[in-house]
A and B are shown apart, each in its own frame.
Chain A
Amino acid sequence: MSDKTMSAQDVVGRLESGMTVGIGGWGARRKPMALVRALLRSEITDLTVVSYGGPDVGLLAAAGRIRTLVTAFATLDSVPLEPHYRAARESGAFELREVDEAMFMWGLHAAANRLPFLPVRAGLGSDVMRVNPDLRTVTSPYPDPVSGIREELVAMPALRLDAALVHMNRADRAGNGQYLGPDPYFDDLFCEAADTAYVSCERIVDTAELAKEAAPQTLLLQRSSVTGVVETPNGAHFTSCAPDYGRDEAFLRLYASTPYAEFAERFLGGGEQDYQDAVRTWRKERER
């Protein structure tokens, strides 16, 4: 098995401006924030971002890196409206392809299964159809056995990704990824829908340790759909990474209430270690 370990900088070195990048997690939950921070340190821009949006979307939008966003929402969970996303959207900073949560999921399923689309009972009658004029419908070839009606459904196009970024609790050097929290979100689908997938994790462990730590169904990502593995302790900060840590609510509130330029100046100027140090310093100052 090949050793796929690399640094966050290596990951960003394999990305290019103009790519379609999927970001795993959900809202402010298990987001690959260390990889997003590395992306922010690069010059990469003009991205199509596909995400159940949280601060990943807020940061990239505020930094002007998004050309097109595919999402159903952007939220910080405990702060319902993502303020930096909101500001960018109200200033018309990027193009939005707004789809429903279920449509999004079926778009990933279609991409993971190499299908051009999948039929979905969602979107019809809503303004999702108006704001996405490219969306088409399909008529079921099978009449309903009772009513005889051949139902019309939305043909959700595949959300094929150039690259996926996800964060796991554990992974081995070959790219087998393990989640230990309550929800896998859609991280496996993101990886399977992507040409290349990069997995950050709290800790890289020996393959033999994976199945010792928890039941085999926690082994969410197979190495066959993973390109690179990065060990980034606290790498989902300030989103949650249960059971390793919860959301950093105090820091989340700081992020939500600080103008982006000021936040970036204080926390995003250096590397990942500088970020983690700056957070520690901020916490100490606050406790004083």
Chain B
Amino acid sequence: MNEGAGAVKGAVAMSGDGVGAVRVTRAEYCVIACAEAWRGDGEVLASPMGAIPSVGARLARLTFSPDLLLTDGEALLVAPDGTPEGWLPYRRHLTAVTGGRRHVMMGASQIDRFGNQNIACVGDWSRPRRQLLGVRGAPVNTLNNPTSYWIPRHSPRVFVERVDMVCGVGYDRIAAAGPGAARFHRLPRVVTDLAVLDFATPDHSMRLVSVHPGVSVEQVAEATGFALTVPDEVPFTRDPTPEELELIRTVIDPGGLREREVPDPRDGPGGRTGVSPGGAGGASATGAADAPGAADADGGARGGGIPAGPGGGGR
């Protein structure tokens, strides 16, 4: 990633476009950070869960990772414009998982410093305070194909010291899970509305990789319920190129689903705190909002396209 310099930027100016300053929204930085997860992956299935990862996967496919495969959220493999190119019912999707020809970006209702993830329930499993999605495919995902995470609202309620139920398996648990368990285990990155994180530390604990422009390192630390590894220099998440911005705004997501998932903080008090996660993609009023990220945390074997139209993003 070609991150910017470590100084605080305000509204970001796109240089060299001859039009003047172009405001890049927080959601658009998140799209770029998600797209980067699939850079260099080659001919594998990109399984995004959530609106912004879906935009990111399509952006990667249209630009720097042209060999990626995408699904329509039902049972078809499709080009970015929706043209079918293959058949991927659940049974074959699960083989893409176990065969390793896939990189999924799941949500997380809770995640800890070693990347253990929970989407099943909050509280004691035997009688949960809040039943969420269930384990879905998180166990098989994490043991078999690269698994990244998308968290649309970075907060201490999500970034916890200890998750209530380990669904997606983190680095400490996989190391203790017996011979061969870690063979295909890899958690490339965690993208949030504030920052990009990974596990590239000696003990595979979580590390801050970059902050999105407009976010401070302190802000990320405060929103994280455990001690993060923070390098001396923390770069900004890279800017979108003019071509990428054009693709995001006019080709991939002209309806602006990304802005509903992560409202721009400069758009007033409703920005950071006023919209529940999962507002995009038809999440309901059935209580998704009282577990941050729950509505977007579909850990299922199948991800989805942009959650619009039939299929609802594969949820």
Contact B178–A152 (Cβ < 8 Å): yes
A99 within 8 Å of B (CB atoms): yes
Interface residues of A in 11-33 (CB under 8 A from B): 26-27
Task: State the main secondary structure of chain B at its contact with A.
Answer: loop
Which residue of the partner chain A has the closest CB to B166?
A: A127
A contact residues, total (Cβ < 8 Å) = 56
Residue from B135, B144, B165, B166 within 8 A of A73 (CB atoms)? B135
A80: chain B residues at CB < 8 Å are 133, 278, 283-284, 286, 288, 294-295, 298, 315
Given A127-B125, A182-B75; A105-B166 close (CB under 8 Å): no
Q: Check B91–A186 contact: CB distance below 8 A.
A: yes
From the candidates B120, B129, B169, B278, name the one contacting A124 in the complex (CB within 8 A): B169
Contact between A72 and B137, CB atoms less than 8 A apart? yes
B136's partner among A72, A105, A253 (CB-CB below 8 A) is: A72
Is there contact, CB below 8 Å, between B180 and A125? no
Q: How far is the CA of A152 from the CA of B143 in the complex (A)?
A: 12
Residue of A nearest to B120 (CB): A98
Chain A residues with CB under 8 A of B129: 90
Q: Is the CB of B180 within 8 A of A151?
A: yes
Of the candidates A92, A149, A183, which one forms a contact with B180 in the assembled complex, judged by CB atoms under 8 Å apart?
Answer: A149
User: Which of B129, B131, B165, B310 counts the most A-chain CB atoms under 10 A from its CB?
Assistant: B131
Task: Let me know if B140 is at the binding interface, CB within 8 A.
Answer: yes
Complex Cα–Cα for A55 and B298 (A): 17
Q: B167 contacts which chain A residues (CB < 8 A)?
A: 126-127
Chain A residue contacts of B75, Cβ below 8 A: 181-183
What's the least CB distance linking B144 to chain A, in Å?
6
Number of A-B contacts (CB under 8 A): 183
Contact check, B89 vs A183: say whether CB atoms are below 8 A apart: yes
Closest A-B pairs by Cβ, 8 of them: A151-B180, A125-B177, A73-B134, A122-B140, A182-B75, A102-B140, A125-B169, A152-B178
**B interface residues with partner A (beta carbon < 8 Å):** 74-76, 87, 89-91, 94, 97-98, 120-121, 125-140, 142-144, 165-169, 173-174, 176-181, 183-184, 278, 282-288, 294-295, 298, 300-301, 310, 312, 315
Given contacts A73-B300, A139-B179, 18 further A-B contacts (CB under 8 A): A53-B134, A72-B137, A77-B315, A80-B295, A81-B286, A90-B131, A99-B135, A100-B136, A100-B137, A101-B137, A125-B174, A127-B125, A131-B125, A137-B178, A149-B179, A152-B181, A253-B284, A257-B286
Could you give 13 example pairs across A and B, Cβ below 8 Å? A72-B135, A73-B136, A78-B315, A81-B287, A83-B286, A101-B94, A122-B139, A124-B169, A127-B125, A127-B165, A131-B126, A183-B90, A186-B91
